[in-house]
Structure formats: C-alpha cells, structure tokens
Amino acid sequence: MAHSFQTIALIGKYQSPDVAEAVLRIADYLRERNHTVWIEQGTASSIGGYGSYSAATYDEIGAGGDLAIVLGGDGTMLNAARRLGEHGVCLVGVNQGRLGFLTDIGREDAITHLGRILDGHYVEEKRFMLAVDVLRGDSRVFHALVLNDVVLSKGDIGRMIEFDLCIDDEYVYTQRSDGMIVATPTGSTAYALSANGPILHPTVGGIALVPLCPHALTARPVTLPDSCRIDITLLPPHDARVHLDGQTRFDARAGDCVRITRSPHGIRLLHPEGYSYFAMLREKLHWSAAPRHP
C-alpha cells in the first residue's frame, strides 16, 4: 500500500553550490503540489536564501516528516540514515555525487521520478542497520547506529593491532591485522568490497566480517547470521580506532570491547518503479563493460 507524503524534508550535501540550486528547485515543485516543505537546518544554513521555507532539525524531521529527499552522494544518505533511522522516515536519494549506490535518481530526471514516487509509483526497500557499543569494564562509553559498516583499524600507528573475536560468547580466534570491517549488506559494496569481501544482496540477513591485511594468510571473510552478537576485544597494549560509515569515529583503548548487533531500527528506501539491484551493480561496478582497446 502506497504511503501518503504530506510533510517532506529536503536534505542536501553540505556546502555544495549545485545542491543548493537543486534543493530550491525541488522545494518549489513540492510546494506547487501542495506539500509542506522543510529544509534540514544544516542544509538551509549552507545554501542561504531559502526564503519562506521552514528549516527543521533532524529530530523535528524524524518526529513530523513523512519523507526525506536526500540530494548528494552516498555519504549524504549515510549521514541522513543514521540520524533518521530510529524514526522510520522514508528516504529517497537524488544523486549529486559520484557512485550513487543509495542515491539512485539522476539529477536530470529528479522532478519526473519524484513526481511518480509522490503519486504512489515506487518500489520500497528495507535495509537493516547495526548497533555499535564500546564497552570499557562495566560501562558503555560509546553507542551509535550505522548503515554501511563498522571498521576497527590501527588508526595512526604504523603496526598491526591484536584482538579477540567472539561470536555469541564463543571464542573464534585471536587476530593480528590492520583491523576488521563489519559490514551490512548495504555496506558490502563499499569498503568491504575493496578488501575482497562478499557482495550481499540487500534482502540477505547477513553480516560480513572482512579482515584488513591479516598476518595469518588463512584468515578469510566470513558471513554471519544477522542474529549474531559480535564482540571484538582489543588486546594490550594496542589502542585502535572505530570508524562508523567512514564518517565518525571513536578512539578505543586496549581492553575495550566493540560489540556489534543488528539494530531493531532500519531505513526504508524508495526507488522509482523498475528499479533493479542487479542493474545498479552492473552500472556502478562496470560489469559487462566492453574491454578497452589501446
């Protein structure tokens, strides 16, 4: 059953002149259709001159918005997803960036596709998120949601780190490496793919563990059920850095446990009718491209 989208928020890539023009053009179009239009506060501040449109915080969008249109690249969508994931607001992505795995509507056709979506002609796709906690002794010192991946890395040091991996309280191994990527199906086509991880279809209930330059040559990526609890405990004297969707980070200390589980929250992506995940992969990963001739 199609949703009714009355209050629509526009979220743009930070400080992008191209996005500023597109935000106001889409805002005018939505107003002509008698929708209530909000412009996300940071977006409104960066574009200036947003006229009679109301600026809204992410909390306000989460509480009262029906749909968020994200104009930018995948990074802009990831940030919006983390901020709105707990609220269940539907998301639509207009690609103003490079790859556009998540922002799949082209900027030239944005008005046409958005009109069709608002008329109820769309494909809805649900993507799950991960909850990340850093435990220090008996205390939780950090918590976050991620859509793509959690990356434990050696940070600025020039040597490997060492950590224990446990799944559902069962010891799996002690690894020496540059770190570990823990990726959702959404994130399986991001950093994890560059580290030779598997591509997981978005409907697969799996979490990919992808070692980063492991010292043991037999260490290989593993796909786990999304019901698992993953504990990565840093062994002294190694500190490490926890990266979240490649956008925020937390500096973990030796002895800290990075606990990763499937979050009860997720995002609802809306695509134009005819959207195909495999067609998107063919385009973005250049599958079936003709060979280049010298």
- What is the C-alpha separation between 171 and 233, in angstroms, rounded? 11
The amino acid present at 79, given as its one-letter code, is N
Bond preceding residue 264 cis, omega within 30 of 0: no
Q: Which two tokens stand for residue 37?
A: 């239009």
Given a contact cutoff of 8 angstroms between Cβ atoms, the answer to whether 68 and 117 are in contact is no
Q: Is 74 a catalytic residue?
A: yes
Given 28, 66, 74, 149, the catalytic residue:
74
- Of 29, 26, 100, the closest CA to residue 275 belongs to 100
Catalytic (active-site) positions: 74
